[in-house]
Every structure is written in C-alpha cells, then in structure tokens.
C-alpha cells in the first residue's frame, strides 16, 4: 500500500495508540507468550569491551568496525557509541563471529552509492536477493536500541526506472547458529528489511521497522522478515510499518514461531511464495503465528504457492512448477482492521487464469493448516468476500481448518471464496467459487 507524506505522522500516531490497545487487550484476555519449538541456547560470558571509532565526517567506518570485531571476537562486546553516527560504504562479511555481542547505541547509515552496492553487495541464490552485510557464526547477540538506516529513498527512485536492479537487504543474518537480534530500529531498507538464511536457534525481539518513500515512487518489496533454509527461529514483540509482507516464510523454513507483532501497511504474514523454481523442493513446516494485530494491509494470514506451469506476477517476478510441501501451519489469535483479505490461500499465485491453473495444478502440496480466533473488519475492497481459499486441485490441498472466524466487511458481509477445498472443515460461509 502507498502512503502520502501527510499520512505518515498519522500512521505513527495510530501505531502507538494501537500498540497500547493491543497490550491492554492481551492482558485482558490473558494471552501468554508461546515457547519456541526447541529451547534456544544460552550465551557464554563476555569478558572485554571494544568501542568502534567513527571518523565523524561521513567517510567509511568499515575498517574500524572490522578491527573492533576481530579484537573482541571470541568472548567480547563491540560497542557502537551513543549519539554517534557511523557510515558503512563497504560490503562486510561478518560470518566469522564467535561468542560476541554487538551493542548498537548510535546510528549506522549505509552509503547511497547504488553503483557500488549493486556490484559488491552479497549475492544470494533465492529471488536475486542481495545484502549490505552478512552476519553469522555462533552465539552472536545484536542489541542496544540503535538505528540501522539503509538510505532507501535513492533505491526507491532508481527501482521505479529499472525493475531489474539489485537492491540490498538491510540486515543479512546468514549462517547464524544461536543468538539474539534486538532491540533495534530499522529504517528505509532498499528492499527486504531482514533475510534470515541458513540459520538456526535465533531470537528476534523488539525490532522497530519503519520506512516509506518521500517521493511518488513507492518503497516496494520491503518485507519485515524473510526466512530461508532456517529452523527454530523466533520473531516476537515487534512493530512493523512497511509495504510488503510483515513476515514471509520462504523455502525450507521449519519450526518458526512468530508472536506479538503489530503490522501496519503490509501484505500480511505469508507462507511463500513457494514452488517458484522448477525442479526445486520447497518445504515450510511447523509454523505458529500467534497474537498478531494487522492494520491497513492487503492480507492477514496468507499462503501463496505457484501453479504447476510457468506464470508471471510482474516483470521481475515469474515462476511455477516447483515441488514441495506446506504442512502444519497455525495462525491463532489474530485481529484485523482495514485489511483486504482476512485469509488468503492460493495455489495459483502469479496465474490470473484460474482455468489454466486448474489444468496445471500445483506440484506443491498444502495440508494441515489451522486458522483460529480471527476477528475484526476488512477494508471492504473484496466486498462481500472477506477471505479466499483457492486450491488448484483437492489432491494437493487438504485438511484446511478455519474456526472461530469473526470477521466481516464494512457492509456486514462475511463471505468466503472456496475452490477445491473441503468446506466441512471451514467454519465460514463459502458463498462462491473462484
């Protein structure tokens, strides 16, 4: 969704008031945090401290950062000082970290040199993702409440001219095994805010995401989190104001807990998209999404799978024909306001021709899906429909449940579109088929 500058201040005020209401509602209903799928490891003691020196004039502080990290690696704490501005103009490989904390009290800004970053940012295999830095290793904690700023405006304007540019992700958690991220403020990412890849046993807690465009060019694809080839990840107690998925579970994400989030302006909390690449196997399994408030969004709970044949979503996003499974996914205790779809399940992602989608059913199965305790009012954009569950074939889509769904449109309607799905398991009004 696109917001004008005059709306930004109002949205921030709304966010703060809704947070207070959400906290109050949680206490009233005695909503307790859920435990991770497996216990998270503890950290070893830290026994020394290194302070990062800033040049203070906007020149590249990357050498000083690497020096401090190497000095305090294996048992120390690296401090980015309060009321200090740091500049990063070099792609940093920080996957060598072991038993170290990064306490970010000041502000870190990435340079707006789009030519440099397109050439030198770290390239990842999935969806042409790139990152400003790779942070990984064992037992690494990043906290302090400071700010990481991706200087996104130059990227939003450049992307409007060329959809094929490589826009860096603000935070790359790559190959991290054991650690915590947050509290932190993340601002103006060129693309996704956080990529969590090839990682395990990581807790994200207290992340504040914000960043809209100040021009007519939207800040697009600014997902809050994307998990990829990772397991036992916890994302909780965070506020996300963005323009794409609040959280997205990409291929081979398992044992993921997402809870106590306030999402505004997003595309929901999404499984997928999956099945994009022919011959590849995508698995998303054992996911719990709990106690979420969603405002001014296109979706709340979303599962998106490509069909069995090639489809084109946009100039820079095509796919279909991949293999895999989505299994044991639970969305529980959710609240919406001004959201287009309360629930959206599709095996026809990217394919607008439903007949063609049914002729080439998805190769990726969806099963054991649970939507429970969802309440609120939609935007009315899909009126009289408030949700949609569209499978390409009942052979690859089964055991989808919806219970205690108390959602209606502004006009009072509460219809669902249901296609190739067992309607007896859906406690909703399946009034039409796609």
Active site (catalytic) residues:
267
CA 368 to CA 373: how far, in whole Å? 17
Tokens 């429909």 locate to 385
Q: State the maximum Cα–Cα separation within the chain, in Å, rounded to a whole number.
A: 65
Dihedral sign, Cα of residue 242, residue 248, residue 250, residue 256? positive
Dihedral sign, Cα of residue 423, residue 428, residue 432, residue 434? negative
Q: How many CB atoms lie within 10 A of CB 56?
A: 11
| SS3 at position 312 | strand
| SS3 at position 392 | coil
CA 398 to CA 365: how far, in whole Å? 8
| SS3 at position 190 | coil
What phi and psi values does residue 160 have, to the nearest 5 degrees?
-65, -25
CA 65 to CA 60: how far, in whole Å? 10
| Cα–Cα distances in angstroms (integers) from residue 91 to residues 34, 100, 134, in the given order | 37, 20, 8
Q: Across the chain, how many H-helices and E-strands are there?
A: 5, 29
DSSP character at residue 145: S
């Amino acid at each position: 969704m696109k917001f004008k500058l005059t709306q930004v201040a109002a949205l921030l005020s709304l966010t703060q008031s809704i947070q207070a209401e959400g906290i109050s509602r949680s206490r009233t209903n005695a909503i307790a945090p859920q435990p991770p799928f497996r216990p998270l490891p503890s950290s070893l003691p830290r026994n020394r401290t290194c302070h990062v020196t800033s040049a203070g004039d906007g020149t590249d502080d990357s050498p000083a950062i690497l020096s401090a990290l190497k000095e305090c690696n294996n048992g120390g704490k690296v401090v980015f000082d309060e009321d200090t501005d740091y500049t990063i103009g070099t792609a940093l490989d920080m996957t060598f970290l072991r038993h170290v904390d990064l306490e970010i009290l000041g502000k870190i800004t990435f340079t707006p040199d789009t030519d440099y970053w397109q050439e030198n940012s770290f390239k990842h295999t999935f969806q042409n993702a790139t990152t400003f830095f790779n942070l990984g290793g064992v037992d690494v904690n990043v906290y302090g409440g400071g700010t990481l700023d991706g200087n996104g405006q130059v990227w939003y304007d450049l992307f409007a001219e060329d959809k094929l540019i490589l826009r860096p992700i603000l935070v790359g958690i790559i190959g991290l095994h054991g650690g915590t991220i947050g509290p932190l403020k993340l601002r103006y990412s060129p693309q996704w805010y956080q990529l969590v890849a090839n990682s395990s046993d990581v807790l994200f807690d207290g992340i504040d995401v914000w960043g809209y465009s100040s021009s007519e060019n939207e800040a697009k694809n600014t997902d809050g989190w994307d998990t990829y080839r990772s397991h036992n990840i916890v994302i909780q107690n965070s506020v996300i104001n963005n323009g794409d998925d609040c959280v997205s579970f990409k291929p081979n994400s398992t044992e993921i807990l997402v809870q106590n989030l306030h999402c505004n302006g997003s595309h929901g909390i999404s499984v997928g998209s999956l099945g994009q690449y022919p011959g590849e196997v995508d698995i998303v399994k054992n996911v719990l999404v709990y106690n979420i408030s969603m405002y001014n969004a296109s979706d709340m709970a979303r599962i998106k799978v490509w069909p069995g044949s090639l489809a084109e979503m946009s100039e820079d996003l095509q796919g279909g024909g991949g293999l895999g499974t989505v299994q044991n996914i639970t969305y529980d205790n959710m609240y919406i306001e001004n959201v287009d779809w309360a629930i959206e399940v599709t095996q026809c992602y990217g394919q607008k021709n439903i007949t063609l989608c049914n002729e080439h059913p998805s190769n990726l199965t969806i099963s054991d899906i649970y939507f429970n305790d969802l309440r609120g009012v939609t935007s009315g954009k899909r009126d009289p429909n408030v949700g949609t569950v569209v499978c390409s074939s009942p052979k690859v889509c089964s055991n989808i449940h919806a219970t205690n769904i108390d959602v209606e449109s502004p006009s009072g309607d509460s219809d669902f579109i249901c296609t190739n799905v067992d309607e007896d398991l859906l406690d909703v009004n399946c009034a039409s088929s796609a």
